[in-house]
Structures are given as C-alpha cells and as structure tokens.
C-alpha cells in the first residue's frame, strides 16, 4: 500500500457518537483508517463523501488522489492532485501551503515519464519548504536524467549544506562527480557516505567501480565483496562487481556475477547487455545474440544494446545487420555509432 503522510488532518474522528454528524475532515480521517485496514472500497466512499460535503477541502482531494494512484487510476489521481494544488495556491490556504500535494504529483508525473513536469512540482515544493533535503536529492536525480549535470550538482551540494550528515546526498554527488570525471571528488564523497552509513552496500559497490578506474584493483575487489556481504540480494551490486572482475580479466567470475544479477532481477536490460558482451568475448555468439536481443526487448529505447549487437553482427560478417543496428543506436543518441557508420556502412 502507498505511504500516506500523516500531516494534514486537524480534526478528530468523531465516530463514537452516531448523533454527531461527520464533517469533511472526519470523513477523510475515516477513509484513512479504512485504507490502512485494507478496505479500499469503503475508504474511497469516505473520501468521495468528504469531497461532496466540502469541495474546498485539500485533504479530501489529496487523500483521494493517493488512493486512486494506489488503485491504478492515474488520470483520476492527477485530476485530484491538480485540484488539491489549486486549493493549496488559493488565498485561503496560500500562507499555510502544504508540501505534500506538490511532492506527490511530482512523483506521479515522474512515473508517467513527464520529467519536466516533475521538476516543476519539486521546485514548487521547495518554495513551500526550502530546507527539506530529500526534495533537492530527488530533483537533482531528475536533472541528471535530463542531462543538466550542473543543476544536479547544485542540488546535491545544497542538500549537503542543509544536512551534512545525510549520506545519500554525498553518495549521489559522488556518482555524479564520477560521471563528470572528477574522480578524486567522487572518491571523497563516497568515502564520506560510507563513513556516515557503513551498512549500505550500494555505496561500497559504486566506490569499488570507481576505485577500479583509479587502478586500485585490490581496493575495488574488497569494496565489491563488502557490497555483496551487505546486500546479497541486490542485483546492481553484482552488476558493478562483474565490471570490476571483467577489468581485472576474471571473465568467468564476471559471468557468475551477472548470472546472479539476472537471477535476482530478470528484467534488468543492463545485466543482459553486459553478459552478452562477455559471452561474445568468449566466442559464444549465439548466447551473446540472445542476451542482446533480450536487452533490446526490455529496453527498446536504450542505444547501448543496439550498439553492442551491431558489434556482434559485424564480427560474424553480418555487415548489413550491423549497419541497421548502428543506425538505430545513432537515432537513439549514441554518438559512437556515427563513426562506425561512416567507416563501415558507406
């Protein structure tokens, strides 16, 4: 069930006397109680009644939006979030605006692929509560997805300034700094994240991969083994460990790690793409092709598996097939595909 922030309701739930009529706040609290008990149908009825009784009650629209989203009615949820925010911005509420309608609508927009809309709502949420660290983290992650690395770096840094003990802020800034080739800055951030939260396996996994790029193979392996010890059921840990083993020439060990990653998460295209490459290195072309095809099926708008499959097709002398895949990879934004097309597909 979806997490329900318990911050809105001010009135008491007057259910003990059948002679006292319920107002909208009572009905919202009743709906929340029913929802927490798993009775979503009765909860929805209570929220609907609250809206009918008071069509300017933010809580009624907000909680109904949460429940609609939980039940898969995303269009209805968006409509209710919009109404809650409209009320939130109105004169009667403006000077006591609430954070959660913006945050929840941002999360829904993100789930629907509307990244720009999600950023806009996170920004509105920040205007309501500018010292809420997690808002900067989440907005920064979306900015990173959109390629605004400077904006993402600014958000992660702002989060750290607001709370220097927030491990995830250092972790996310460290990952971004690595992408920006600031490897020493990245290492410092990941060290700090681990110092603050030494029980998080993902921190070790990503530091291990970074250490490998800094030619610290011993440290890289130690971090990856620690990550597996802490998070033995996290597929991403095995993906990163496989990369470290691959760079160190341990192809067999890397394949074992990727097999485990796929066992844990059979719907992750990265695992199949990476395993396909290792199979190709070992001459298992059929197995490699199967893995690339699976990666493309799982993530048809990612250029990486098309580029990988093109390399395999070129190796097995299927030049026209390779050119088709390089063309597709280029269409999806892979700049390396252009040089391959110019060299081999004239």
Return the structure tokens found at 310: 């093109």
Residue numbers in the chain where pLDDT is lower than 70: 1-20, 91-96
Select from 197, 214, 238 the last residue of a domain.
Answer: 197
Asked whether residue 336 is assigned to any structural domain, the reply reads no
State the pLDDT at residue 13: 39
* Neighbour count for residue 96 (Cβ, 10 Å): 8
Same domain for 192 and 213, yes or no, is no
Asked whether residue 274 is assigned to any structural domain, the reply reads no
| CATH number, domain with residue 215 | 1.25.40
Return the structure tokens found at 30: 């009743």
Asked whether residue 108 is assigned to any structural domain, the reply reads yes
Same domain for 146 and 41, yes or no, is no
Asked whether residue 270 is assigned to any structural domain, the reply reads no
How far, in Å, CA of 28 to CA of 63, rounded? Answer: 7
Asked whether residue 243 is assigned to any structural domain, the reply reads yes
What is the per-residue pLDDT across 75-98, written as a single tens digit (0 to 9) for each? 999 999 999 999 988 865 555 678
Same domain for 52 and 25, yes or no, is yes
State the pLDDT at residue 279: 98
Same domain for 1 and 116, yes or no, is yes
Query: What counts of helices (H) and strands (E) characterise the chain?
Result: 19, 0
Secondary structure element (H or E) that encloses residue 286, with its range? helix 285-298
Secondary structure element (H or E) that encloses residue 303, with its range? helix 303-315
Same domain for 115 and 5, yes or no, is yes
Return the structure tokens found at 220: 């890289």
Contact call for residues 224 and 211 (beta carbons, < 8 A): no
Domain around 114: 1-126
Select from 97, 126, 155 the last residue of a domain.
Answer: 126
Whole-structure pTM value: 0.76
How many domains in the chain?
A: 3
Helix (H, G, I), strand (E, B) or coil at 239: helix
Return the structure tokens found at 265: 């998460």
Same domain for 149 and 174, yes or no, is yes
- Give the long-range contacts of residues 22-29, CB within 8 A, separation 24 or more: 23/53, 23/54, 24/50, 24/51, 24/53, 24/54, 24/57, 24/59, 24/60, 25/50, 25/57, 25/59, 27/53, 27/60, 28/57, 28/59, 28/60, 28/63
State the pLDDT at residue 22: 84
State the pLDDT at residue 15: 44
| CATH number, domain with residue 22 | 1.25.40.10
The DSSP output letter for 16 is: S
Asked whether residue 12 is assigned to any structural domain, the reply reads yes
Same domain for 20 and 72, yes or no, is yes
């Amino acid at each position: 069930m979806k997490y329900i922030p318990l911050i809105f309701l001010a009135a008491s739930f007057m259910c003990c006397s059948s002679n006292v009529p319920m107002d909208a706040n009572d009905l919202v609290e009743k709906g929340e109680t029913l929802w927490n008990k798993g009775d979503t149908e009765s909860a929805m009825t209570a929220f609907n009644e609250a809206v009918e009784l008071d069509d300017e009650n933010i809580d009624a629209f907000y909680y109904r939006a949460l429940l609609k989203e939980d039940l898969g009615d995303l269009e209805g949820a968006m409509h209710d979030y919009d109404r809650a925010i409209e009320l939130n911005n109105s004169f009667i509420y403006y000077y006591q605006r609430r954070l959660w309608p913006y945050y929840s609508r941002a999360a829904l927009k993100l789930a629907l692929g509307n990244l720009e809309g999600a950023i806009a709502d996170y920004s509105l949420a920040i205007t309501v509560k500018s010292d809420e660290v997690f808002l900067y983290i989440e907005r920064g992650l979306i900015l990173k997805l959109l390629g605004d690395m400077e904006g993402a770096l600014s958000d992660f840094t702002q989060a750290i300034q607001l709370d220097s003990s927030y491990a995830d802020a250092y972790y996310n800034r460290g990952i971004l700094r690595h992408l920006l080739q600031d490897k020493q800055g990245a290492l410092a951030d990941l060290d700090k994240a681990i110092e603050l939260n030494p029980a998080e396996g993902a921190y070790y996994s990503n530091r291990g991969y970074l250490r490998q790029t800094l030619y610290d193979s011993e440290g890289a392996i130690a971090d990856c083994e620690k990550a597996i010890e802490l998070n033995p059921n996290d597929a991403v840990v095995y993906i990163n460990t496989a990369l470290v083993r691959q760079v160190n020439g341990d192809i067999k060990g890397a394949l074992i790690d990727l097999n485990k990653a796929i066992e844990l998460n059979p719907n992750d295209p990265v695992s199949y793409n990476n395993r396909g490459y290792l199979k190709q290195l070992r001459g298992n072309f059929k197995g490699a092709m199967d893995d690339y095809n699976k990666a493309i099926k799982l993530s048809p708008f990612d250029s990486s598996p098309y580029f990988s499959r093109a390399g395999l097709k070129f190796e097995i002398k299927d030049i026209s097939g390779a050119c088709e895949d390089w063309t597709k990879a280029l269409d999806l934004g892979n700049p390396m595909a252009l040089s391959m097309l110019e060299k081999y597909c004239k």
